[in-house]
Amino acid sequence: MKTSKVGLALLLVCCVWAVFIVAGCTKDEVDTTGTIYGIVNDADNGEPVSGVYIVLNPGGKTANTGSDGRFEFLDMEPGQYTIQISKNGYKTNTKRISVVAGEQTSGDMVLERGESRIKLSTNSLIFAKGETSKTFDIMNIGTSGSVSWSVAFSESWIKIAPVSGTTSQGKSSTVVVNIDREKITQDVTANLLVEADGESMPVAISVRFGESEGGGGDEPSEGKGSCGEIVSCDSEVKMEFLSCVKNADAVEFQFLLTNNREDWQVWFNRDQSDGVDDKGNSYPGYNTKFYVGNSDSFVTNGNAVRFMKGVSTKCRVIVPGIKNEASSLQRLDWVISSSQPWNPQVKKITFTEVKW
């Protein structure tokens, strides 16, 4: 009897451990996201470079390298991304990477000393339902000589014309991007890389297969609505009203922002921004969405936005919850929390008497 009891006890212990092990294994959740980490080094001496501005697309997430040249992006959905790195005194560089669920992806890159010789008129193109063709410009901003460039891509549903060229100093070249919709069956994204003179810059492509959803929406046609005045944050930042429409209880208006000073990196503050309609109803900034360029992601307090010198950028503001009795936004302030390398004369942009 004693022997059988000992055996039974051992059997029970083994069963408990087996249950514990199985339970422990099933309790662990499968990782559905990945991580991007990297270090940026100087191409000449191999030293880490601090203060490098990092832009991750799609998504528009941004970061800056620390004193050790390192950066990371956590909880990233699996898929294809581009990392663009830039800093004054260096040429811009871009890298394609693939994020895999449960894995860390290296984004190590190098920066080559020198000034950029090219700029792009936009870093993203969004094709709404039915659209098949859009353009962007490659500008030679060098101080002398021509610059040769090429556009790299791998998707069969994209056609580029031309795929390479040479642009004289102070001039620009137009690149046409055509989409073959017969080859797509759902919303798709891709990244083009414009490579020139030792640097590369991305253009994010987003194609909507069906009806638009969410904040992106179909762009309202220009010429609708009106704006009494736009008070710019700086005399060298020009603002031009384009349109304003009301859909249900949301008002969307568009404007052009042209930065005539040097390249400008800006952080906006939604929480401090606000508006009021002609009936005295207020609209807090944390509910208002501000889109820059063709991005599908609205600006948040932690995201930096870059406006290039001499480039007109289309912006959209969406204000939800407009009261039925209102016929205009009497005032809307969009507050700037900080910027570099220069500060505007006033840290806000004010729109008055925006009518739909």
Per-residue pLDDT reduced to its tens digit, 262-295: 889 999 999 999 999 999 999 999 899 999 987 7
Looking at the fold, whether 131 and 168 belong to one and the same domain comes out as: yes
Looking at the fold, whether 262 and 347 belong to one and the same domain comes out as: yes
Looking at the fold, whether 83 and 126 belong to one and the same domain comes out as: no
Question: Which DSSP string do the residues of 115-173 spell out, in sequence order?
Answer: ---EEES-SEEEE-TT--EEEEEEEE--SSS-EEEEEE---TTEEEE-SEEEE-TT-EE
Q: Can you give the pLDDT at residue 16? A: 52
Q: Give the CATH number for residue 162.
A: 2.60.40.10
Contact in structure between 256 and 237 (CB atoms under 8 Å): no
Tell me, yes or no, whether 8 lies in a domain. Answer: no
For residue 104, give its domain range: 31-114
Please identify, among 72, 93, 114, the residue that sits at the C-terminal boundary of a domain: 114
Looking at the fold, whether 192 and 207 belong to one and the same domain comes out as: yes
The pLDDT-based confidence of 205 (bands split at 50, 70, 90) is confident
Tell me, yes or no, whether 197 lies in a domain. Answer: yes
How far is the first Cα of the chain from the last one, in angstroms, to the nearest whole number?
Answer: 92
Looking at the fold, whether 268 and 339 belong to one and the same domain comes out as: yes
The pLDDT-based confidence of 179 (bands split at 50, 70, 90) is very high
Of 7-21, 86-100, 164-178, 223-237, the range with the lowest mean pLDDT is 7-21
Count the domains in the chain: 3
- Is the pLDDT at 17 greater than 80? The verdict is no
d(CA 122, CA 64): 21
Looking at the fold, whether 245 and 133 belong to one and the same domain comes out as: no
Looking at the fold, whether 106 and 171 belong to one and the same domain comes out as: no
Q: Can you give the pLDDT at residue 212? A: 43
Tell me, yes or no, whether 21 lies in a domain. Answer: no
Looking at the fold, whether 93 and 46 belong to one and the same domain comes out as: yes
State the chain's mean pLDDT as an integer. Answer: 85
Q: Among residues 279, 270, 264, which one has the least CA distance to residue 324?
A: 279
Looking at the fold, whether 67 and 153 belong to one and the same domain comes out as: no
Looking at the fold, whether 234 and 350 belong to one and the same domain comes out as: yes
* pLDDT, mean of residues 128-142: 86
Tell me, yes or no, whether 55 lies in a domain. Answer: yes
Tell me, yes or no, whether 1 lies in a domain. Answer: no
* pLDDT, mean of residues 213-237: 68
For 75-112, what is each residue's pLDDT tens digit?
999 988 889 898 888 888 998 899 999 999 999 999 99
Tell me, yes or no, whether 282 lies in a domain. Answer: yes
Contact in structure between 236 and 259 (CB atoms under 8 Å): yes
Q: Which has the higher per-residue pLDDT, 15 or 302? A: 302
Q: Can you give the pLDDT at residue 36? A: 95
- Is the pLDDT at 260 greater than 60? The verdict is yes
Tokens of 121: 């008129």
Q: Give the CATH number for residue 298.
A: 2.60.40
Please identify, among 114, 134, 162, the residue that sits at the C-terminal boundary of a domain: 114
Contact in structure between 146 and 166 (CB atoms under 8 Å): yes
For residue 235, give every residue at least 6 positions away whose Cβ sits within 8 Å of its Cβ, in sequence order, or none: 345
Looking at the fold, whether 172 and 120 belong to one and the same domain comes out as: yes
- Is the pLDDT at 218 greater than 90? The verdict is no
Q: What is the DSSP letter of 262?
A: S
Number of neighbouring beta carbons within 10 Å of residue 181? 15
Question: What is residue 29's three-state secondary structure?
Answer: coil
Tokens of 127: 């094709």
- Is the pLDDT at 348 greater than 90? The verdict is yes
Q: Can you give the pLDDT at residue 21? A: 52
d(CA 18, CA 12): 10
Phi-psi label, residue 66: left if phi above 0, alpha if psi -120 to 50, beta otherwise: beta
Tell me, yes or no, whether 17 lies in a domain. Answer: no
Tell me, yes or no, whether 26 lies in a domain. Answer: no
Looking at the fold, whether 64 and 137 belong to one and the same domain comes out as: no
